[in-house]
Structure 1
Amino acid sequence: MPTNSHVPARPTPTQVRRWRQHLANERAEAAVYRDLASRRSGEEREILLELAEAEARHEAHWLNLLGSHVGKPRRGDSRTLFLGVLARRFGSVFVLALAQRAEDKSPYELDPDATSTMAADERIHGEVVRGLAARGRNRLSGNFRAAVFGANDGLVSNLSLILGVGASGVGTNIILLTGLAGLLAGALSMGAGEYVSVRSQRELLESSRADPEMRNALPHLDIDANELALLYRARGMSPEEAQIHAVEVLTGNSRLELEAEASEPDQHEAVGTGHAAATSSFCFFASGAAIPVLPYLFGMEGISAVLVSAALVGVALLGTGAIVGLLSGASPLKRGLRQLMIGFGAAAATYLLGLLLGTGAA
């Protein structure tokens, strides 16, 4: 790896410290990719090992700059070390999402001692990891969506319900009964709604899938009648492209391609299954809705129960928001705070409505 020509023969102590840290980070990142590769197979394993090799080339750049100033091996920064721990323990899409963020935040574009090639490498690495993470996100997205939104809805709706009813001035036993009823009714409603929603979406996708029996009609088509060309025009090809493609298929020059076309990409994995989505939604809504009820279950009353309930829900909202942020490659803190603001905003509006209704009734 070539070095920058402006680097002095005698680096300053500040440069040496920075280079050593970059060296440590490159070694740690390479270890993360190797750990992830050990839990993968096939193409994903090969890609992760190639990424580790690329980090080794960057490592060679810093070794070349440091020369005799390499010193004792240093630890990588806290973010990279945390990635390493997760990779060894889990090797999941969460780790890939964190690795994507780490690559996107590479300091090489602003570091005068890193080459432009290294900065470009890191940018591409981020996209490669994004592609790998997308595969895991697709496997998670259907049921994960039901789980996350089920928990979030349970937290917000039951906290709002409890605060709204409590603000009207009713007794603690009524608030507790209301919270438990809201938990059960909401969980059942969410589960049923998710089942219907996912089943309907899968049925719509199924109706758009190409008929696999279409290939059996090929030997009987008239090559001059353009029937197959109409199919390709319906799929978005221009008339000229459709005609050429149809002739290739009918003359046997593109039979394998037709086999692939008859089996279009399966989007069902991303949608999830009806039963799994319903179960996830029911369980996570119930678990989320149980949190604001806990203080009342343990006998707390009045403002202390309200404060504890709101605090517990706040922590849970931050957690669900952070998880969504991690999986989407966004900032966990920003996503957590956004979730918190939305949830507390809804609860505050309901509480104020309860106060108004309670005052009017009095």
Structure 2
Amino acid sequence: MTTSPATIRRWRKYLADERAEAAVYRDLAGRRTGEEREILLALADAEARHETHWLELLGDDVGKPLRGDIRTRLLGWLARRFGSVFVLALAQRAEARSPYEDDADATATMAADERIHEEVVRGLATRGRNRLSGTFRAAVFGANDGLVSNLALVLGIGATGVSTPIILATGLAGLLAGALSMGAGEFVSIRSQRELLAASNPNPETRTALPFLDVDANELSLVYRARGMTEEEATAHAAEVMRDLSVDHSVGDTVDDHEEIGSSLGAAVSSFLFFASGAIIPVLPYLFGLQGVAAVVVSSTLVGLALLGTGAVTGLLSGGPPLKRALRQLAIGFGAAGATYLLGLLFGVSAS
């Protein structure tokens, strides 16, 4: 049976994509060590198995090697230069777009592999997201708060009809006040969270009391029951501890969420800087001497572009569709700014 040219082109495209994806995973593995490196190399090997399938189908029609699609090539370029959680998030979305489930020429095993690959990459990306979560959360929220709140402030004040110097002074005051508030709020929030977690950690001095416990009526089992063990488990574990006091048996699991919570100082500084970097954007037209409608249009345009960018990045890291997240961010930001602008118009009319 003769294979149609369209089918051959499709197979060759799949072959090119598999080769490009395997290269992405090898490039990512080159920037990592230990278990993550091994996992990425295993993914590359799996893509090589898929490559073999298309080579066998193509036979003599394999032709000159094609380049992978633009998204996969871009992913490879990013992997070679950065190897960050952003690349893993993109790879996760790429695995989710696999066409094999709807293609009769791909095996069920290949389609299942792609599903599993998505979850493997999601797990690797989650590790990176956890490492980023504290500081990144402060950075994204800080930038968005700066963009939206200061745009709303500038437009609201401007709509009342005050002069440009007053609008500029208001915008700069809003920038400084908001950045200080965000930085202080993040510092207090994360420091308080760490202190709450620290309060849940076992007291290391408790161990010094173990040798003096009454073996027949010791209360060590109550510690383990309070930590979540059943009565039987707690009694058995307490007996084990009392039999061998030379072994360092912890009376509870230490709570250490450094990766997930992030540094309080780092989050505070990030929040301050990113709020300020977002809040300065609505003020830029006024700093450069624009006034009236021109200043409003330029300010809104710049903020709109920034909101699209932060929304897309947030969507990418969360594994969601970047465009949808970007448009949602834009709608929320412009909705808030539009409301304050209308209020400014209302007060401006009332004042006059």
Both structures adopt the same fold (TM-score exceeding 0.5)? yes
Structure 2 distance, partners of 1:67, 1:220, is: 78
Given that residues 192 and 278 in structure 1 are in contact (C-alpha distance below 8 angstroms), is that contact kept between their aligned partners in structure 2?
A: yes
| Alpha-carbon displacement from aligned partner over 1:296-328 (angstroms, at most 9, x marks no partner) | 111111111100000000000001111111111
Q: Which amino acid counterpart does residue 75 of structure 1 have in structure 2?
A: R
Quote the residue 2:52 is aligned against.
60
Moved more, 106-115 or 34-43: 106-115
Deviations 1:333-352 (A, max 9, x none): 11111110000000000001
Cα distance in 2 for residues equivalent to 1:319 and 1:152: 10
* 1:355 aligned partner: 345
Long gaps (5+) in structure 2 = none
User: Within the alignment, does 1:197 sit opposite 2:213 as a pair?
Assistant: no
Find the residue that maps to 1:170 and give its secondary structure: coil
* 1:95 paired residue number: 87
Contact map agreement 1:215 1:262 (CA 8 A) in 2: no
Alignment check: 8 A CA contact 1:16 1:66 kept: yes
Distance, in Å, in 2 between the alignment partners of 1:235 and 1:10 is: 69
Q: Which residue of 2 is the match for residue 28 of structure 1? A: 20
Aligned residue type for 1:345? G
Indicate conservation of the 8 Å contact 2:154/2:170, yes or no: yes
Do the aligned partners of 1:26 and 1:56 also contact (CA within 8 Å) in 2? yes
Q: Distance in 1 between matches of 2:243 and 2:88?
A: 45
Q: Is the 8 A contact 1:146 1:194 kept in 2?
A: yes
Name the SS for the 2:320 alignment partner.
coil
Q: Does 1:146 align with 2:135?
A: no
* Alignment partner, residue 285 of structure 2: 295
Aligned match for 1:186, one of 161, 170, 178 = 178
Match of 1:308 in 2: 298
Partner of 1:327: 317
* Distance apart, 1:245 and its partner CA: 3.8
* Counterpart position of 1:132: 124
Deviation at 1:34, TM superposition (A): 0.6
Equivalent pair of 1:205/1:268 in contact (CA under 8 Å): no
2:150 to 151, 158, 173: 158
Question: What residue number does 1:233 align with?
Answer: 225
Distance 1:11 1:91 in 2: 39
Instruction: Name the counterpart of 2:39.
Output: 47
Gaps of 5+ in 1: 1-8
Task: For 2:281, give the aligned amino acid.
Answer: I
Supply the distance in 2 between the matched residues of 1:267 and 1:355 (Cα, whole angstroms).
Answer: 48
Structure-2 change in CA distance of 1:214 and 1:329 (3 Å)? farther
1:247-303 deviation digits (Å, cap 9, x = unpaired): 4444459x68x45x7553521222122211111111111110100001111111111
Q: Is the 8 A contact 2:227 2:252 kept in 1?
A: no
1:338 and 2:333 correspond: no
One-letter code aligned to 1:340: L
Does the Cα contact within 8 Å between 1:150 and 1:282 map onto a contact in 2? Answer: yes
Check 1:331–1:224 CA distance in 2 against 1; reply closer, same or farther (3 A cut): farther
Counterparts of 2:66 and 2:212, CA distance in 1: 71
- 2:107 is aligned with 1:115: yes
What is the identity, as a one-letter code, of the residue corresponding to 1:132?
L
1:14 pairs with one of 6, 19, 28: 6
> Structure 1 CA distance, aligned partners of 2:215 and 2:52?
60
Among 263, 266, 272, the alignment partner of 1:273 is 263
TM-score using structure 1 length: 0.92
Deviations 1:175-203 (A, max 9, x none): 11111111111111111111111111111
- How far off its partner does 1:228 sit? 3.4
Provide the residue aligned with 2:98 in structure 1.
106
Mapped partners of 1:109, 1:140: distance in 2: 34
- Could you tell me how far apart the structure 2 residues matched to 1:27 and 1:211 are? 54
2:31 counterpart letter in structure 1: R
% identical equivalent positions: 72
Aligned-partner Cα distance in 1 for 2:101–2:213? 58
Q: Which residue of 2 aligns with 1:176?
A: 168
8 Å CA contact 2:23–2:44 kept in 1: the answer is yes
The 3 A distance-change label for structure 1 pair 162 and 10 is: same
Measured at CA, do residues 81 and 223 of structure 1 come closer, stay the same or move farther in structure 2, by a change above 3 Å?
farther
How far does residue 213 in structure 1 lie from its aligned partner after superposition?
4.4
* 1:20-65 superposed Cα distances (whole Å, 9 cap, x missing partner): 1111111111111111111101111111111111111111111111
Deviation at 1:120, TM superposition (A): 1.3
Aligned residues, how many? Answer: 352
